[in-house]
Each structure stands twice: as C-alpha cells, then as structure tokens.
Amino acid sequence: MKKIDYRVALPNFITIISLCLGLNSIKLAFENNFEKAIIFIVLAAILDALDGRIARMIKGTSKFGAELDSLTDFVNFGVCPSLIIYFWSLSSIKFYGWIACLIYVVACCLRLARFNLDHESKLKNDWKVNFFSGVPSPAAAGLILMPMIISFSEFNLNFINSHIVLAIVVIVAFLMISKIPTYALKKIEISKKFFILLMLFVVLYFSLLFNKTFETLVVTGILYSLSIPISFFHYVNQKRNYEKGNKKGESIISDEII
C-alpha cells in the first residue's frame, strides 16, 4: 500500500479548507449575512496565499496541487464573489446585473486558464516572475466586493448604487483578462533587517484587520488600486533594461566573432 506524502497532502488540505470557506460564503450571502460572507472570502484569500508558499517551503509542490489551487481560485474568487455581489446589489437590476456577473465569472475562468499556460514561459525570464499579466483573481474579488465593504465600514458613501456596482464589476473583469502587468512579488530578496520590519508590519496589519476589518480592507483596496499604474510603469522600465542588456550581450558576441 502506497504511503501518503504529507508534504504534498498538507498544502492540498489547506486548499480544500479554502474552497469550503468560499462555498460557505455563498450560503451566508443567500441568507443576507453579507458581512460574514466577506470575512469568509478574506479568510479564503489568506489561505490561498499560504498554500502555495507552504508547498514550496516544504517541497510539497505537485501538478495535482497546482490544478486544485487553480480550480479553487475559480470558485472562491470567480463564482463566489459574483454571486455575493449579485445578491447584495445587482439583483435589483435583474438581467443586466446577472449579465455583469456572467462576464466577471467568464473573465476569471479565462484569466486562470491563461495563467496556467503562461506560468512556465515566465520562469525563463526571472524578472517577469514578479509580475502577473492582468489583475489576479483574489485581488479582483476584493475589488468587485469593495462597494459592499465600503458600505459596512465607517467610510460609507451614500452615492454607491447598483449601476456603479455593475460598472465596477465589468471594469474589473476587463482588468483580469487584460495584459496590464500587476505586482506578483514572488522572487524578491529581503535583508534580515527589512524582514524584521516586514514581520512587524504583518503583525500590525492583521491586528488592524481583526479590530477594524472593513476599514482595513477599504484601505487595502485603495492601495492595491494605486499600485496597478505603478506596476505598469515599473514593468515597462524593467523590460527596457532587459532588452538593453540583451542588445549589449549580442553586440559583444558579434564583436568577438568578428
């Protein structure tokens, strides 16, 4: 009898827990318990960020785990948030609201399929590993849920209505399938001093998230939105430098041949 490799099983177990959290968020939204539904999506996103890193740390990566993670992302950050936002707001405009949700779900599916195909090609260019092509699905889920999150926070804005929510859903769907580079930050070297500061920041962030959940999520959403144009210009600059380096290398080789 073949023994279970716990290094492979542990990350997959975390992914399954994340999937259960996402599915339960739909149930909570159907019961009009939207605040808890958002919290469940946030918890699913945290586990999504952890499972891959834990797998790489304990050398428990597998093709099965990668596929499971991708399918879980589609459910948790594609299907679940679209249904939550539909129950909360878009159901009031019926047909158009449902079409916007369908557009978002399809865009999420296409985005994840493209990510799976592009992942191996990006490994050849190390600097590209730190960038996603388009907005990743967990961030997209947070962006379409932002109107709801704002409504539960102390920053409540009265002008938010179903038509604005619909526009946000469609725009975010476009950002997912676009090729706008956004930060991935997968391979970054951190010094020991900076690592200590980073850990202090993480502790502070989760303390704020626990005590001021929706306010912290609003600030996080704003900061992430601002990072999109910054990542675009950073990517363009990195690409320019990479191409200059290649041209210099080619010119040196040609000179040596001559």
State pLDDT tens for residues 157-170: 777 889 999 999 99
- What gap in Å lies between CA 131 and CA 50, rounded to an integer? 18
Amino acid identity for residue 14 in this structure: I
- What gap in Å lies between CA 71 and CA 137, rounded to an integer? 11
- What gap in Å lies between CA 63 and CA 98, rounded to an integer? 34
List the CATH number of the domain containing 163.
1.20.120.1760
181-190, 203-212, 224-233, range with the lowest pLDDT: 181-190
* 120 within domain boundaries: yes
For range 95-117, the mean pLDDT: 93
Q: Look at 227 and 8; give whichever has higher pLDDT.
A: 227
- What gap in Å lies between CA 149 and CA 34, rounded to an integer? 9
Q: Look at 187 and 49; give whichever has higher pLDDT.
A: 49
* 67 within domain boundaries: yes
Q: How confident is the model at residue 129 (pLDDT cuts 50, 70, 90)?
A: confident
Chain-wide mean pLDDT for the chain?
86
Count of Cβ atoms closer than 10 Å to residue 111 Cβ: 25
* 197 within domain boundaries: yes
Running DSSP on this structure, what letter comes out for residue 62?
-
* 35 within domain boundaries: yes
* 87 within domain boundaries: yes
Cα of 29 vs its chain's centroid, Å = 21
Q: How confident is the model at residue 257 (pLDDT cuts 50, 70, 90)?
A: very low
Cβ–Cβ under 8 Å, residues 51 and 18:
yes
Cβ–Cβ under 8 Å, residues 58 and 12:
no
- pLDDT tens per residue across span 180-201: 999 987 666 667 777 788 889 9
For range 12-17, the mean pLDDT: 92
Cα of 47 vs its chain's centroid, Å = 12
Amino acid identity for residue 136 in this structure: P
Residue with tokens 């725009």: 171
* 62 within domain boundaries: yes
- What gap in Å lies between CA 103 and CA 156, rounded to an integer? 27
- What gap in Å lies between CA 214 and CA 148, rounded to an integer? 9
> Helix, strand or coil for residue 84?
helix
- What gap in Å lies between CA 11 and CA 55, rounded to an integer? 6
Instruction: Determine the structural domain holding residue 15 and report its residue range.
Output: 6-257
* 1 within domain boundaries: no
Tell me how many domains the chain contains: 1
pTM: 0.87
Residue 133 belongs to what H/E stretch?
strand 131-133
Q: Look at 253 and 246; give whichever has higher pLDDT.
A: 246
Residue 54 corresponds to which tokens in the numbers above? 């834990």
Cβ–Cβ under 8 Å, residues 93 and 166:
yes
6-15, 89-98, 223-232, range with the lowest pLDDT: 6-15
Residue 106 corresponds to which tokens in the numbers above? 């399809």
Residue 87 corresponds to which tokens in the numbers above? 């129950």
